[in-house]
Amino acid sequence: MAIAAAETEDARLLDPVRRLAGRLRRKYSGRITGELTIPARDGRYADIPDELVPDLAGALRDRGMTRLYSHQREAWDQVRAGRHTVVVTPTASGKTLCYNLPVLQSALTERSKALYLFPTKALSQDQVAELTELNQAGGLGIRAYTFDGDTPGDARKAVRTKGDIVVSNPDMLHKGVLPHHTKWAQFFESLKYVVIDEMHTYRGVFGSHVANVIRRLRRVCRFYGADPVFILSSATIANPAELAASLVGDEVAAITDSGAPAGEKHLLLWNPPVVNADLGIRASARSQATRIARTAVRGGMKTIVFARSRLMVEVLTKYLKDVFDRDPRRPARVAAYRGGYLPTERRGTEKALRGGDVDCVIATSALELGVDIGALDVCVLNGYPGTIAATWQRLGRAGRRNRPALGVLIASSEPLDQYIVRNPEFFLGASPEHARISPDQLLILLDHVRCAAFELPFRRGERFGGEDLEALLDYLVEQGVLHREGEAWHWMEDSYPANSVSLRAVAEGNFVVIDTTDGARRIIAEVDFSSAAETIYEGAIYLVQASPYQVEHLDWTGRKAYVRETRADYYTDAIDYTRLKILENFESARAADAEVANGEVHLVRRIPGYKKIRYYSHENIGFGNIDLPDQEMHTTAVWWQVEPRALADAVPGRQQAIDGFLGAAYAMHHVAALRIMAEPNDLGRAVGDGDARWFATVGASGRGSLRTLDGGEVDPEAERHFRPAVFLYDNYPGGVGLSEPLFGQRHAVAADARDLVAACGCEHGCPGCVGPILASEDQRGFSPRQAALTVLELFIGDESPRAS
Amino acid sequence: MSLRARLDTLRRQAGTDDAPERGGDDALRERLRRLDGGRRRPGAAAGPVPAADVAACVGGEVVADSLVRVRQRIPLESAHGHVALGRVGDAVALPGVGAFPGRSAVFIDTETSGLAGGTGTVAYLVGLARLDGTALALEQYLITAFAGEAAMLAAVRDALGGDDVLVSYNGKSFDAPLLRDRFRLARQYHPLERTGHADLLHPVRRLFRRTWPDCRLATAEARLLGFRRDDDLPGNQAPLVWSELLHGGTTERLPAVLDHNRRDLLSLAALWPVLGEVFVEPARWGACSRAAARAWYMSGDERRARAVLEAAPALDAPGRHELARLRRRAGDWAGARAIWQGLAEAGDAHAAEALAKYHEHVRRDWQGALAWTSRLPAGAEETERRRERLARKRGRDGAQGDLFPR
């Protein structure tokens, strides 16, 4: 027995992943701010259901499956009982079988049909490939087809009439299927299952749209006498049943216990070392990621590195290829994987990964979704992915069934990253975020009421969404879009409404960036409407793959930016004036001298000009004017204010107060995004008086100043009532429901921000806490970081403020 | 805070009255306007126009709730453009389309609420016409409200017999699928699946695609029928007239839509016999002879195909190849050779290849075949093989040639 134990001990030490984890812990303990070891877990199994069609059971046996994981069986039982079901399981736990089994069973026994929805085309293709494989293994004769923008016109009819399983995406359902549902009559009549994979991607604006597309789908199904059962699958989020229920519009049973076995997992939180203590500058995450990946690959471990941008993928790939792929005659050991590559190229990389032919892959979130690449040993995250859920999903890429895996999360210098690594208990202890949608967001709902009315006339008494449907319909009648006749509302406009509703973007439509270098006209990028004004103004330097392009002409109405390659040694940074007016206060709360409120605001954004900033030295080398229309928006916001007297007592001088509010806003913006599972871009921030008279901005001098929208400066000392507020607003017209949960977390947001700023290693402020400050700011006589801390303490309103 | 509470607050700010049921709507509308911004069209909908008023306006009768039928007989002695309608009954078969269905032909044209397609588009006017004794009998079904649609679809279904063949212009892509969708939406059995359908856009496009700026019906009318619609309502205005009727309560432009539809039907009827002529003498009508010949050939009539090409005043290279091919198939080797010769001398490789084959397989003239082969671009596998084969044959026969000089 003793010998056996020693052998096990040896095996433990010999395992390369454990050895690497141990070595990193010993050598770089100063950089590791937190760690977690998740013990291995045995599989839990259940029998293959007796009623399974013999052919199907045979197909499973041919693939070596004599039993199911417990969650697969549980899904079978729920779905067969006619209940909508969501399966929440980690990567590579056999989730596809959870929906494929009941779907194939019914297709074989009742010739029923199924619709599979995936968020991307690539995943659809994977799925069809897998179904075809299973189908061939069992000689089942089930036809699965993809139906998306790439499906040729002459094949579409066959898909509609012959497909047992149609694999598509929400956009295609919205634009190509539902408005033509009569062509799909046969399909809808026998539609029994709708599968929605990667459900966690349907959140925020996109999710709110998709929930409405599903409302329309179910409405059309009812017309054909069908009431399909929804089977959803999701990565780990805090509220799978809730999200599934709001997407489907019905109760959904949640299966959250995976029966799949998992190997031991080590997770390290890693903060790069400080290289300039004065400015709080740390070594780059990139340098750390490269080093760890290098060590892992040298040690024979299959490694994946996740980067947050396509550009970073390219940079890391180059660095690692320089080490491992120097000999061009030998097959490549390092590969890159990101959006923008051709599908064939991506399929090739996926295959090489599955086959173990590649030792290291550098990827964007494109690989976070369920693309099958087999299991890997080490996962390095170059920067925090933005949410706890996405982090776990990416980490899940490493880990084979019976072997240990290592994940390393490397923080960048951004505040969110710094917050995460400096507060490891937040990440390690917290449950993943709630994913929220707001399907009744008025504009989104109205868009889909339009589309639904086009598909089938609305009848009196029908329900669609949580708002007063008749009021919405009457509104559309008033617009001349619908015609009310007796008990029904009919479409009457000469248009195809789905074409003007994009599920993924704000209503206004995206801009394309067109390269005109050498007389060519090549589309090289797409820019969201919401960020167009600040990224592709005339004169802007726009970066694609690290190559600089200069915007020569912006066609605002045509949504086009014409650019030309340039060799500029500077980049450009837009100056952003945001003026906010509080329209209505829904609810508010007091904490000592602070008041926090949630309500509706009207905001005007103006981008009056831009700065040219030289690379490396970061000096300001010039200004340019921007002439673009103001952007107006009604939305919801949460704001924090302090009693003027208390503010005057706590902060000496209004200048300090302004800098304090700006710094606090910067830190709060980032931690708030973390708290409510939003991208930082989904939220906007502003500091102003709430009455649209003035707002605060960081001027050319680096100091905060008060301005009017026309750029005129306001003297803070001359203000009679000096009552600045930090606003965090929902960056979508009408709001998508971000401010309500934010208000609920108001205390946590201020407290998290305080912790972030208090724990920062810098002296007076840095991009990791209150935002970039210039070195010369030391001369202003106070520490912007301290000012922000004071303001944050006032927001928290604790009886005993922390000493710092 | 609940939505209701938010609405109430907004209502208070807007200063509206405090009746909760009505007020909620107003507040919602107010929110929508603020968010939706400026897309609103002014004016509330007027009340519905009684079907009887519409019937009076267009000279029809109310045959069901919200359904008006207009009947008209156009004597076959009259003309449409310069085409005597009497010719319709004698129309001949069109290659690629089929024989003229005679009394089973149902000319069909619809006017719709939109041109975008999809389930939100409704056909509010369906015009049908067929030969009936000494006249062309027209029936137009016009709905005056959505309520009339089911009755209209039923009437259309009843008007179509089992042997009928629809004759339309672009109806295979537009009118028929649209009606099929409407039948499905009305949960009615739809007759269009089993009904034959001749879409005259297809032969027109085949014949004139290369020579006309477009193949719209108006263009075909002007160029083939000598018919011009100077006072006509443009087809793309039809959706607006429907909206004017429903939304504005006005019937002002309805007679114009019915006129437009009637002219479409007459043009359809007149088009068939004229297309019959075009296929026989395409050049005279400015049509593409090669396309006409191709249509004849595909329908199995090689003689006509050849005749069309023989008569063509100026054939392009593919047309001449086609003619050579047809001559060869008819056994006219000399005629075919004459064409190839002309083409090959102008540097046409396909013609040179045809001549090489001709000399090798028909004339068994290896020397001649080699001469033409030498004009083919070198390197192609087939050419090289031919060259070797011919050289071999020449070598063999050459030896014989010494023994038996020609």
Number of domains composing chain B: 3
B405 pLDDT tier (thresholds 50, 70, 90): very low
* Cα→Cα distances B250→B49, B54, B240, B241, Å: 8, 9, 11, 9
Give me the percent of chain B exceeding a pLDDT of 70: 86
Strand spans (E) along A95-213: 113-117, 144-146, 165-168, 191-196
Whether residue B248 lies within 8 A of chain A, CB to CB, comes out as: no
Span of A40-49, A656-665, A700-709, B345-354 with lowest mean pLDDT: A700-709
What's phi and psi for A606, nearest 5 deg?
-130, 135
One domain, residues A215 and A363:
no
Answer yes or no: do B96 and B213 share one domain. Answer: yes
pLDDT tens column, A605-650: 888 888 887 765 556 788 888 888 887 777 899 999 999 888 988 8
pLDDT at B8: 38
A400 lies in the same domain as A496? no
Residue B243, chain A, CB below 8 Å: the answer is: yes
Co-location of A760 and A673 in the same domain: yes
Task: Name which of A453, A455, A492 is nearest B243 (Cβ-Cβ).
Answer: A492
Q: How far is A145 from chain B (nearest CA, A)?
A: 23
Taking residue B21's Cβ as centre, other Cβ atoms within 10 Å add up to 7
Quote the Cα angle for A236-A239-A245, to 5°. 115
CB A739 within 8 A of CB A638: yes
Please check whether residue B395 lies inside any domain of the structure.
Answer: yes
- Report how many domains make up chain A: 5
Residue A486 belongs to some domain of the structure: yes
Among B residues 132-191, those touching chain A with beta carbons less than 8 Å apart:
145-147, 180-181, 184-185
Looking at the fold, whether A204 and A286 belong to one and the same domain comes out as no
β-pair partners for A282: A274
* CB within 8 Å of A682: residues ≥ 6 apart: A204, A205, A673, A730, A731, A732, A736, A738
* Chain A hits for B25, Cβ within 8 Å: 468, 470-471, 474
Residue for token pair 């066609």: A555
Q: What is the CATH number of the domain that holds B269?
A: 3.30.420.10
Residue B259 has pLDDT above 90, yes or no: yes
Q: For B115, which of A483, A494, A733 is closest by C-beta distance?
A: A494
Q: Which residues of A touch B242 (CB under 8 A)?
A: 492
In a domain, A551, yes or no: yes
User: Which amino acid would we find at residue A299?
Assistant: G
CB contact under 8 A, B146 and A490: yes
A368 pLDDT band, cuts 50/70/90, is: low
What is the CATH classification number for the domain harbouring B397? 1.25.40.10
Characterise B347 by phi-psi region: left (phi > 0), alpha (psi -120 to 50), beta (else): left
Let me know if residue B302 belongs to a domain: no
Residue B197 lies in a domain: yes
In this structure, the answer to whether residues B91 and B172 fall within a common structural domain is: yes
Same domain as A150, residue A7: no
Q: Is the pLDDT of residue B310 over 60?
A: yes
Does one domain contain both A367 and A348? yes
| Same domain, yes or no: B248 and B331 | no
Same structural domain, B228 and B349: no
Q: What is the reported pTM? A: 0.79
Structural domain ending residue among the three candidates A190, A221, A255: A255
Sign of CA dihedral A739, A675, A239, A367: positive
Considering the domain architecture, whether residues B217 and B128 belong to the same structural domain is answered as yes
Instruction: Kindly give the pairing relationship between strand A725-730 and strand A713-714.
Output: unpaired
Cβ separation A182–B145 shorter than 8 A: no
Whether residue A576 sits in one domain with residue A563:
no
Cα(A214)–Cα(A195) distance, rounded to whole angstroms? 11
3-state secondary structure of A757: helix
Q: Are residues A362 and A301 in the same domain?
A: yes
CB contact under 8 A, A497 and B180: no
Q: How many angstroms away from the CA of B340 is the closest CA of chain A?
A: 38
Residue A440: closest CA among chain B residues belongs to which residue? B3
Chain B residues closer than 8 Å to A490 by CB: 122, 146
For residue A212, being part of any structural domain is answered with: yes
Whether residue A586 sits in one domain with residue A652: yes
pLDDT-derived band at A755 (thresholds 50, 70, 90) equals: confident
Residues B397 and B355 in one domain: yes
Q: Are residues B152 and B12 in the same domain?
A: no
Contacts B44 to A, Cβ<8 Å: 478
Q: Tell me the C-alpha to C-alpha distance, in Å, between residue A752 and each of A222, A671, A746, B109.
A: 48, 6, 10, 69
Please give the pLDDT value at position B27.
66
Long-range CB contacts for residues B355-364, cutoff 8 Å, separation at least 24: B356/B386, B358/B333, B360/B386, B360/B390, B360/B393, B362/B333
pLDDT digits (tens, 9 = 90+) for A652-665: 888 889 989 999 99
Do A246 and A269 lie in one domain? The reply is no
Tell me: ipTM over 0.95.
no
Q: Which domain holds residue A579?
A: 572-796
Is there a domain that residue B136 lies in?
A: yes
Q: Which of A354, A51, A789 is nearest to A367 (CA)?
A: A354
How far apart are the CA of B69 and the nearest CA of chain A, in angstroms? Answer: 21
Residue B369 C-alpha, separation from nearest chain A C-alpha, in angstroms: 44
Spell out the SS3 assignment of A379-405.
EEEECCCCCHHHHHHHHCCECCCCCCE
Q: Which two tokens stand for residue A777?
A: 């700011």
pLDDT digits (tens, 9 = 90+) for B165-217: 999 999 999 999 999 999 999 988 887 777 899 999 999 999 999 889 999 99
The model's confidence at residue A278, banded by pLDDT at 50, 70 and 90, is low
In this complex, is the C-beta atom of B361 within 8 Å of any C-beta atom belonging to chain A? no
Together in a domain, A323 and A397: yes
> Which residue did the predictor score with more confidence, B287 or B399?
B287
Please tell me which residue of chain A has the smallest CA distance to B8: A586
Q: Of the candidates A182, A474, A584, which has its C-beta nearest B13's C-beta? A: A584
* A8 and A106 assigned to the same domain: no
Domain assignment of residue B376, given as a range: 315-403
- The verdict on residue B174 lying in a domain is yes
Chain A residues in contact with B243 by the CB 8 A cut-off are: 480, 492-494
- Give the up-direction half-sphere exposure of residue A163: CA atoms within 13 A in the CB hemisphere: 25
Kindly determine whether residue A456 and residue B119, on different chains, have CB atoms separated by under 8 Å: yes
Q: Is the pLDDT assigned to residue B41 strictly greater than 90?
A: no
If DSSP codes are grouped into helix, strand and coil, which group holds residue B199?
strand
Nearest CA in chain A to B185: A182
Longest CA–CA span in chain B (Å) reads 122
Of A477, A480, A586, the CB nearest to B1: A586
Pick from A255, A413, A589: nearest CA to A421: A413
Say if residue B14 is in the same domain as residue B117.
Answer: no
Residues B83 and B130 placed together within one structural domain of the fold: yes
Q: Among A467, A484, A492, whose Cβ lies nearest the Cβ of B28?
A: A467
Buried b (16+ CB within 10 A) or exposed e, A726-738: bbbbbbbbbbbbb
Residue B16 pLDDT class (50, 70, 90 cuts): very low
